[in-house]
Amino acid sequence: MAEAAGPAKEAGKQVARTAAKRAAPARKTTAAAAKKAVVAKKAVATKKTVPATKTVPAKKAAPARTAAPAKKAALAEKAAPVEKAAVAKKAPAAKKPASAKKTAPAKKSAPAKKAAPAKKSGPAPEAVRIPKSESHAALVRRARRINSELAEVYPYAHPELDFENPFELLVATVLSAQTTDLRVNQTTPALFAKFPTPEDMAAADPEELEQILRPTGFFRAKAKSVLGLSTAIRDNFGGEVPGRLEDLVSLPGVGRKTANVVLGNAFGVPGITVDTHFGRLVRRWKWTEQQDPEKVEAEICALFPKSDWTMLSHRVVFHGRRICHARKPACGACPIAPLCPSYGEGETDPEKARKLLKYEKGGRPGQRLKPPADYPGQPAPPMAAG
């Protein structure tokens, strides 16, 4: 029995070993299966997250399609190569008509004959229609703008009488009545060579003085005025021309206009000179309606600062002598035509108007024999050459 139990035990052990061997690979497969399950779970998690990430941009792309530029970009990115090629082909096609369109208007704009209307627009008087109820402030602005334009046109404006000192300017201004500054400038060299000072002039022979002054017209009356003012300067002012308005107008033959010319140009005292040119232009520009020179002076002085008075006078007179003539102003060649409420009173054709310009504006000599250095024109010829 013992011997029989021994082999039975051995057989049992053999069976146990066999079962253990068979169980070992089963355990391994179970572990492998567990590992595969873990990997599978991770893969599932990854798959779940991946579509999650894909769906987020997909949702964002949807609103992006609402914007035209974003929509085109999305389509360009998602489009097939064929679509991109199609777009590429369409792009140059679109560029060609674009360039064609650009050249077409260029050809149409080539007829720059539309510049011709620009000449017609030159008048522009309608832009300066003066309302009846124009305020003083508006008048001041308008007047000062014209003065600014004149300053650019005539930066060299100056008194057009030749003189070396206050006495010569005073005498020349008195002689300029009823004649041109040119004629006075051609006459005074001989006059001042013979009688250079008030004392010399006061002692002059009246008949000799008249003969010298004959070319200026009204020579007898002018000789009397020159003798009288020279005597008054010698006797009342110590041989020196006074520098005050009230003293100057006390001299024979000297009025307010002459006094302002002397004060402004010989003494540096600002003043408005209301001669025929000045009065005519300020009325054309509707700065005043006054006819009396003193009233004109008062109203114009109220429009400008005192420091502008003297140069304003020169610019206005220059413009009146060169362009804005009394009988036939050269409106078509006037640089301030767009600001002038009286545009059209004269010649408006540019070519015809240019023929009306005088002195340096018309390519001719000026009025002074000895003009300032900055004067762009030619000096006037002396009497002998005239």
Report CA 209 to chain centroid distance, whole Å.
53
Distance CA 346, CA 339 (A): 15
Which residues does the annotation mark as catalytic? 257, 275
Kindly give, in sequence order, each residue whose CB lies less than 8 Å from that of residue 148, ignoring residues fewer than 6 positions away: none
Neighbours of 75 (CB within 10 A): 13
The sign of the dihedral angle between the CA atoms of 214, 217, 223, 229 is negative
Contact between 317 and 333 (Cβ < 8 Å): no
Cα gap 265→170, rounded to integer Å: 10
- Answer for the pair 230, 175: CB distance below 8 angstroms, yes or no: no
Inter-residue contact 352 to 332 (CB < 8 Å): yes
DSSP annotation of 130: P
Give the CA distances from residue 197 to residues 200, 216, 253, in Å, rounded to whole numbers and listed in that order.
Answer: 5, 20, 18
Report how far residue 43's alpha carbon sits from residue 352's, in angstroms, rounded to the nearest whole number: 98
Contact 304, 313 (CB under 8 A): no
Q: Is 317 exposed, middle or buried (0-12, 13-18, 19+ CB in 10 A)?
A: buried
